[in-house]
Structure 1
């Protein structure tokens, strides 16, 4: 009887192993999603984003378009985010990114506004002498309703923004910087 039970146990184990091997051979369906990335205010932040994504299981960073502040993420729909519905995936990716970056990065759906409808502005600032200062200046502008893309560089002393002119303007962006205690560079006065 013991031999019979042992034989059945071995057979079940072999069949289970074969079933697992067959399951591993089935191609895994992966999905891709392009999202706007917040916190991508300088070119060197791309490396920070790539490093951050290594901490998030089941989601891979496929590519980053720094100039558009967009990234392509790949995930397994049946595995990532507890089988969340497709319309909830951007929110789940955003939550994972925000949590793991302590709020310095985030993800949003792409804008529905055509890029040719946006305006660009460069604002000269002083006092941005580190990445943290640049992040604070960036966040003050990026949070203004209508801003689609912003950058801040302590190396060049510039904060840039691409925005919907129906929702905001240069004055509102400058006011947001002043409120965040970022000093605006005064234009040079010319004498006649």
Structure 2
């Protein structure tokens, strides 16, 4: 059985002639490369995934409308997940290009906002069911994606256990170059730091 065991320009080119996918074929290679970190993907399974992909775009400073999407891959841009718990608004995670993510849980008060204009690829819940049924070999890939998403959320919890004095430095070490793309208020909302304390540790 042929596998997508390395980025394949020929395969990406073959997909680009499909009428539904022609406009978006340039988005496939980053997703292909990301999937390979979880294991090889049979070509027939990749084709089934590609046929079901939906493109979601969002302008800067706008909330991303996720529709029926269940699992997303950020092709380009930068997102923040804001949570309003009724007492305060904080940032639960930043999503960078190359990251997988899911929609905020219903009732969480969360929304994804574009810090930079963003483009994502999405798979709907029903499509995930069908893919797992038709291609059981994708189950381990899906499990790896969900684990990576959970790890991203755990990263903030780990930072919050560090003393405030060391928190910003640890953030910059964990996410090299990200702070330069963010407003200070967003960094503070992520690290749970007040403006006065943040200014002393920056």
TM-score range, shorter chain: under 0.3
More helix as a share of residues:
2
Q: Normalized against structure 2, the TM-score is what? A: 0.26
Q: Normalized against structure 1, the TM-score is what? A: 0.27
Which has the higher Rg, Structure 1 or Structure 2?
Answer: 1
